[in-house]
Structure 1
């Protein structure tokens, strides 16, 4: 990954020591934002341009999946990673189907593995952004082409029956 790249990562977890450990582990590679609840996580999303969201599954009030599902309408672009200390196949299925989770990683995380997954998530974020930009450019080009064709048909330069 390019060292000039600034990757904004939001980590949501109700356990303060996990937030501290995450920030200490990744603050040199990424711009790390932390939140100790889903409500606080949403506040960060409203004020920062986040590329990757990492969230714990088991939190009081709102689970990680519920949090991720709730932000999709307002924040569809960040790539989502779910962390959990528990293995629950239903949670994995819900994470994929409801929360649009890119990766499901078990706690305790291994720093190198999580770093690589965050970098890959950012690459996916950038590819999706590139695709959106290309589609927007194609739509503009297509609209211009249609306008030119209409003009050519109207002034008789092109015969639409040919």
Structure 2
């Protein structure tokens, strides 16, 4: 059993999809939903999101455009693109521009999506631990350099 609950944000312009997603996964994860990219951005600003799932075809902003637009500000969430349309160009753009972890077809298979969320969270945590270990190593290296300089000066 994991110590931390998984925070999942699902963005889709269809209210029925948001309701179905929340109903399917609310017992296992903390679910945040947004009906637009703008609303999704607000949720990201107010919560630590581990896994971000967005629909591709939405008004104003596509899922890929949204994922690409948040890379600098919110680089940590694991990104997944959900769509009912099999467009190879969208898949390529999602991978190259939005840095997605998974491309999922609608209607989703609940077991498969649950596995993708779990695996995505594992990647999130590994990246977080790697970042912390890198920072710890840099700090230890700085301390060793300081001690070495002190020893050389004495």
Normalised TM-score (structure 1): 0.94
Larger Rg, first or second structure (1 or 2): 1
Runs of 4+ in structure 1 off by over 6 angstroms are none
- What displacement does 1:43 show? 0.3
CA distance in 1, matches of 2:14, 2:112: 21
Alignment of 1:71-86 (within 5 A): 71-86=70-85
Partner of 2:106: 107
- What is the SS of the residue equivalent to 1:53? strand
CA distance in 1, matches of 2:102, 2:61: 19
Evaluate the alpha carbon distance shift between residue 4 and residue 153 of structure 1 in structure 2; reply closer, same or farther with a 3 A threshold: closer
- What displacement does 1:82 show? 0.4
**Which structure 2 residue ranges, 5 or more long, are not aligned?**
none
CA distance in 2, matches of 1:91, 1:62: 13
Is it true that 1:149 corresponds to 2:154 in the alignment? Answer: no
Normalised TM-score (structure 2): 0.98
Partner of 1:44: 43
Partner of 1:69: 68
Is it true that 1:21 corresponds to 2:20 in the alignment? Answer: yes
Is it true that 1:94 corresponds to 2:93 in the alignment? Answer: yes
Task: Count residues with an aligned counterpart.
Answer: 154
- What displacement does 1:3 show? 5.2
CA distance in 1, matches of 2:133, 2:104: 32
CA distance in 2, matches of 1:95, 1:60: 17
- What is the SS of the residue equivalent to 1:62? coil
Cα RMSD of the aligned pairs, angstroms, is 0.7
CA distance in 1, matches of 2:45, 2:4: 21
